[in-house]
Amino acid sequence: MTEQPARRLLLVHAHPDDESINNGVTMARYAAEGAHVTLVTCTLGERGEVIPPELAHLTGAALGGHRRDELAAAMRALGVDDVRLLGGPGRFADSGMMGLPDNEDPGCLWQADVDRAAELLVDVIREVRPQVLVTYDPDGGYGHPDHIQAHRIAMRAVELADEAGCPVAKVYWNRVPRTVAEDAFARLGEALPGLPFDEAAGVEDVPGVVADELITTEIRGDASARAAKAAAMRAHATQITVAEPYFVLSNALAQPLFTTEYYELVRGERAGDADARESDLFAGIEIEEAS
């Protein structure tokens, strides 16, 4: 029987590609260090907009299947081999952008019963026993219904797991400090004439930007982790075009590819000096090493 790694990290995301954009460095770093990294993705992103013209024919289930393959390739780049779809492939459909008729599809994630969906995630928590969980803030970073619902499901699952005797020691939300975003966009403005992109996004287009003082934790990766993140993002070719250190989504607006990733601790004890940021998601957790 294979022994379970001592450190175990669970990430909960809405669609394929969200994990690589938000947490690619973090996932690559911990996987390389021997931690068990589990990704739960809630939908296959069947309603995503496709960038490459040669793939524009992909829609619905065909797009979902293709994005599942992209996700598998991205996880190989990050060194992560525990990837799950909440409730199994196709259990919850992509809800589309907020305010569209797609939101009313009874099979979409936005219409899911949060408690029932959370129980599916609790099953993963019981099996994996993660000490750390990462997900979105209550707004889902930028108001997408699936991101908001993924947040609700993850936070409810943590409550239910605690009641079931499987506590998660620390919960983090994905964040970007405002000064970091502003500095990165200033550099982007200077670099834009030399990039294969015509226009730049703005700080308001980056999910999870908050005041610097809300940031509790920053994760820096080595060159290998940074390269793995870029490779993982490239694997999501229907959704992302990368020209390091920048990328675009389907709106064709350039934005920075962040190689330091930031978090806000919202459950659990912050380690070390309250005025200093943690540099390890597992900081302060008593880890029982496998014998």
Residue ranges at the known binding site for Zn(2+) = 15, 18, 147
Report the distance separating Cα 21 and Cα 25, nearest Å.
9
Residues annotated within a binding site: 15, 18, 147
Q: What is the DSSP letter of 177?
A: E
Place of tokens 């099996």: 127
Q: Measured in whole angstroms, how far is the alpha carbon of residue 231 from the centre of its chain?
A: 15
